[in-house]
Amino acid sequence: MTISLTGRYELNETNLSGKSYLNNKPISNKIKQIKDRILQDYLIPLFSKQWKILKENVYFLNEMQKKLNYYYSIYKLDELLIYIQLLKVFNILIEKYKLLEDIEEKNNGKRDKNEIISMVFRTSMIQLLPEYEIYNSILGKPKRELNQKYHDNIIYDIKLMLVQENTSYQKIKNYLLANYKKE
């Protein structure tokens, strides 16, 4: 607690050394980066209805949740729990949007004309690991009837890129198309 120029007492969480008075642990700049990324990659696209961006960024949710859980274990900030829950909400919203897209696609005449009755089952979407989802969305899903398989070196590269700071779907896409399009 300090006295400001106005004569009022003010509670400052940090001092010039960057250490918190509240729990004697410095607040990491990495937390601020994650908060900024949540704002840029999820909140702004959600409110501006940029679903394509949200669907591309869904692959990074798990990694950000892991980081937030790690920082929560160190700093015990309730704010981090809110961000963890917010990421869970984004995941559910994106999953529901994908399900809605699938239903709309089926209802807009893209189903089999010989089909007499169509039934819609509401289930959770089955999701692959993020590296496989990204592989499928950029390079296409390997065709079993042609005995195609996932390339382990591509999956490995995607895994590495997923844990890097400031990685985006577009960066991964550009890298894969530049290095693996011929395979």
State yes or no: pLDDT of 24 exceeds 80: no
Give residue 107's Cα distance to chain centre.
Answer: 29
Beta-carbon contacts of 165 under 8 Å, excluding residues fewer than 6 positions away, are 33
**Comparing 33-47, 59-73, 105-119, 140-154, which segment has the lowest mean pLDDT?**
105-119
The percentage of residues in the chain with a pLDDT greater than 90, rounded to a whole number, is: 45
Question: Residues 57-77: what's their mean pLDDT?
Answer: 91
The confidence band for 109, taking pLDDT boundaries of 50, 70 and 90, is low
Per-residue H/E/C for 16-81: CCCEECCCCCECCHHHHHHHHHHHHHHHHHHHCCCHHHHHHHHHHHHHHHHHHHHHHHHHCCHHHH
State yes or no: pLDDT of 31 exceeds 60: yes
pLDDT digits (tens, 9 = 90+) for 92-102: 998 888 888 88
| Helices marked H in 76-109 | 78-107
State yes or no: pLDDT of 181 exceeds 90: no
- φ, ψ of residue 14 to 5 degrees: the values are -130, 155
Of 5 and 98, the one with more pLDDT: 98
The pLDDT assigned to 7 comes to: 55
pTM of structure: 0.62
- φ, ψ of residue 21 to 5 degrees: the values are -75, -25
Write out the H or E segment, with its range, that includes residue 9.
strand 9-10
Q: Is 67 exposed, middle or buried (0-12, 13-18, 19+ CB in 10 A)?
A: buried
Three-class secondary structure of residue 94 per DSSP: helix
- Ramachandran sector of residue 9 (left: φ over 0; alpha: ψ -120 to 50; beta: rest): beta
The percentage of residues in the chain with a pLDDT greater than 70, rounded to a whole number, is: 74
Of 161 and 122, the one with more pLDDT: 161
Of 116 and 151, the one with more pLDDT: 151
CB neighbourhood size of 161 (10 A):
17
Cα Rg for the chain, rounded, in angstroms?
Answer: 22
Residue 172 DSSP label? H
What average pLDDT does the structure give for the chain?
Answer: 81
State yes or no: pLDDT of 87 exceeds 50: yes
